[in-house]
Chain A
Amino acid sequence: MRTYETIIIVHPEMVGDEYAAIVEKFKKVLVDQGSEILKFDEWGTRKLAYMVKKQGRGTYLYVAYKAPAPAIKEFERRMRIDESIIKFQTVHLEKGLTIAPVAAVAEGTPSEDEGEETEAEA
C-alpha cells in the first residue's frame, strides 16, 4: 500500500445530481479496489490554464488515498472511459500525506527582509 493523490477535472457541465453521481462513482471505484481514502476535497469549478477537451473551465476534485498498485491502474482506466472526466493526474506521495491543511492560505508573506534569519525560539 502506497499513498497517492489524484486530481480529477470533471466536465464543467456536470452539475447537481450528475456531478454527485460521478463523485460517488469514483469514490466507490477506489474503495472497491481495496484502497483507503485519506482525504477528499472539492475545489469547485475553476478556470483552466488552457483548453482541455474544448473546455475552458473544469470542476476539480482532489483525493488522497492509500492503495495497492493495481488499484491505480484500474482507477485510471475507469477515468479514461468516462467522458465526463476531462483530465486527471495521479502522484505518488513518497512521504505519505502530511496533515497540513491546504485551506490555510490566508495572506502571502508580509515582510521579506533579506538576510534575516528567523530562528524560532519557542
Chain B
Amino acid sequence: MAYEKKPARPAGGPRRRFTRRKGCRFCGDKDLTIDYKEIRGLRYFVSERGKIVPRRISGNCAEHQRKINEAIKRARNIALLPFTSAHSFD
C-alpha cells in the first residue's frame, strides 16, 4: 500500500482526550439552577476566550445546554460576560 493506514480504534470505545464527568450535571443535581445573573455558575461553560463550551465537552444534556446557552447570551448582553476576550481594556 502506498499510504499508511491509521490503526483503527479499539472497539471498546472512542479515544477520549479529556476525562470528563459523564452525564449532565444539572440532571444529576436538581438543586443547581441556571441563571444569567449568576455568572459564577456560567463561567465553567465559557472558554477563556469567552466562547460557549460545546455540549460534547461540557457533557450537558440538550435541554440544559440550551438553557446555559440562553443564559450566557443574556449575561453577555448586559455586560456580565464578555463576547470575546480580544479587546480587553484598563
Which residues of A come within 8 Å of B, CB atoms?
7, 9, 48-52, 56, 58, 62, 87-89, 91, 100, 102, 105, 108, 112, 114-115, 117-118
Give B48-90 as 1s and 0s: 1 = Cβ < 8 Å from A's Cβ atoms: 0000000000000000000000000010111111110001011
A50 / chain B contacts, CB cutoff of 8 Å: 79, 82-83, 87, 89
**B32 smallest CB distance to A (angstroms):** 8
Interface of A, secondary structure class, is strand
Per the CB 8 Å criterion, the residue count for chain B at the interface is: 23
**A78 smallest CB distance to B (angstroms):** 18
**A119 smallest CB distance to B (angstroms):** 10
B33 / chain A contacts, CB cutoff of 8 Å: 100
Report yes or no: B38 in contact with A9, Cβ–Cβ below 8 A. no
Complex alpha-carbon distance, A49 and B81, angstroms: 5
B37 / chain A contacts, CB cutoff of 8 Å: 7, 62, 102
